[in-house]
Amino acid sequence: MSKIILKSVMFQGQVRDILISGKKFSKVFRPLTPKDFDKAEIVDCSGLAILPPFYNGHCHAAMTLLRGYADDMPLQEWLQNHIWPFEGKMTPKDIEIGSRLAVLEMIKSGTVFFADMYWHRERTMKVVKEMGIRASIGVTFAQGLMTNEAIENNFKFIKDHKFESDRVKLAVMPHSIYMVGEALFKRCAKTAREEEMILHTHLSETAKEVKDCKKKDGCSPVELMDRYGVLGDNFVAAHCVHLSEQDMALMAESGSAAVLNPCSNLKLNSGIPKIPKMLDSGMLVALGTDGASSNNNLDMHEEMKVASLLAKALGKADILNADDALKMATASGAMAYGVEAGVIAEGFLADALLVDLKNERLNPRHNLVSNWVYAADSSAIHSVICDGKFVMKNRHIDGEEDIVREAEACAKSIASRC
């Protein structure tokens, strides 16, 4: 089993040596012995601090190709005249190129996991495997956009690829209650339960969705999920902007998780998530970035800070403190997706950030977590570790210039054909 020793790394205010054995942290709090150093790769981490990395609970990775393609317009105009025509031209190869830019951006901004809802999943899976991070890759269902055969192929794909890899797992992702009807939604939920998979959907993103649901089904979207038997600890709902207190109680009691995407929700005028009430309800709340066409980045640090600010603005100055905000962006996302990571502790998967303590925004160091959450940005990130391996060292990822160049050429080519 491979061994890495993070030598002289700052952790919780003390300089320590941390041992990673294989994919896990094996010594964090206990002192290392001479035997631990046998055949270990020793990485000098003096001047660096270790922190948990980000787990992005909701995104559409390949949509990085649409970053800045259309902004600042009403939702329907944005979708119909710009986003959909562009997406209509995207080939599987384009999706691979867009996913690669997305994973590059995620690693550089400290993210080691993302949940992805998109098309041509095998391309995104390939990129994630190559680049060394984790993902929960959606088998996406959307009626109207798919033939019955495509839907059946989805279910077949799930059976065939369930145990795809340690780092890349499949999840069942019916798009939303307005794109997937009752029968298919229930079948998705049944499959997810039987195969022990995560079920992920967009839920209560806009006031219109809630209103339409009440009109059609006589209940809120969360209540509809309850009626369908979808709620449970394998259920992760993206957005959840417009939850009632009853909705929150249902989510909390069932062990369901919400993934908030505050930057996207604000930018698209979908609403401001009611973070203080969600926290009060006891439900599991994690964070995501949504796609780069509506954010316009995949920076979980930004979501963490914005979520924390909104919580304080809507509630009180003393809620969602720095430690809790960090947990929301890290361990809570890992927990929602069943990844045993997001905590720097023995027995957990060895995922981590190393931040540069010389960075001006991490100083003075009255409180490193506060500095990281409220003051820093991605410029403080020095290295990123996932699954016991460095996926970025000293701010550089092999081949990054090529990834950026290829994505630029690809996006320009698609745009020229729209």
Residues 396-415 that bind its own copies (CB under 8 A): 400-401, 403-404, 407-408, 410-412, 415
- We find the least distance from the C-beta atom of residue 207 to its own copies, in angstroms, to be 13
CB 201 within 8 A of CB 171: no
Strand 257-260 to strand 284-287: parallel, antiparallel, or no bridges (unpaired)? Answer: parallel
| 144: phi then psi, degrees, rounded to nearest 5 | 90, -45
- We find the least distance from the C-beta atom of residue 276 to its own copies, in angstroms, to be 11
Which residues contact residue 340 at a Cβ distance below 8 angstroms, ignoring those fewer than 6 apart? 334, 347, 348, 349
Count, residues in the chain = 418
Specify which residues 181 forms β-bridges with: none
Q: Which of 171, 236, 263, 353 binds its own copies (CB under 8 A)?
A: 263
**Binding range to its own copies, per CB under 8 A, among 127-135, 252-260, 288-296, 346-354:** 288-296
User: Measured from the CB atom, is 34 or 68 closer to its own copies?
Assistant: 68
> What SS3 class is residue 27?
strand
Site for its own copies in 77-106 (CB under 8 A): 78, 101, 104-105
Site for its own copies in 36-65 (CB under 8 A): 64-65
User: Measured from the CB atom, is 293 or 332 closer to its own copies?
Assistant: 293
- We find the least distance from the C-beta atom of residue 83 to its own copies, in angstroms, to be 12
CB 338 within 8 A of CB 372: no
The owner of tokens 């006589």 is: 218
Site string for its own copies, 243-262 (x = CB under 8 A): -------------------x
Site for its own copies in 320-349 (CB under 8 A): 320-322
| 380: phi then psi, degrees, rounded to nearest 5 | -85, -10
Q: Which of 30, 89, 365, 396 binds its own copies (CB under 8 A)?
A: 365
**Binding range to its own copies, per CB under 8 A, among 138-146, 193-201, 292-300, 328-336:** 292-300
How many Å apart are CA 366 and CA 4, to the nearest integer? Answer: 30
> Rule CB under 8 A: is residue 366 a binding residue for its own copies?
yes
Q: Which CA distances in Å does 67 have to 128, 369, 408? A: 20, 30, 10
- We find the least distance from the C-beta atom of residue 363 to its own copies, in angstroms, to be 5
- Dihedral sign (CA 211, 214, 219, 222): negative
Q: Which of 266, 279, 280, 390 binds its own copies (CB under 8 A)?
A: 266
**Binding range to its own copies, per CB under 8 A, among 53-61, 134-142, 280-288, 291-299:** 291-299
User: Measured from the CB atom, is 130 or 340 closer to its own copies?
Assistant: 130
Specify which residues 55 forms β-bridges with: 113
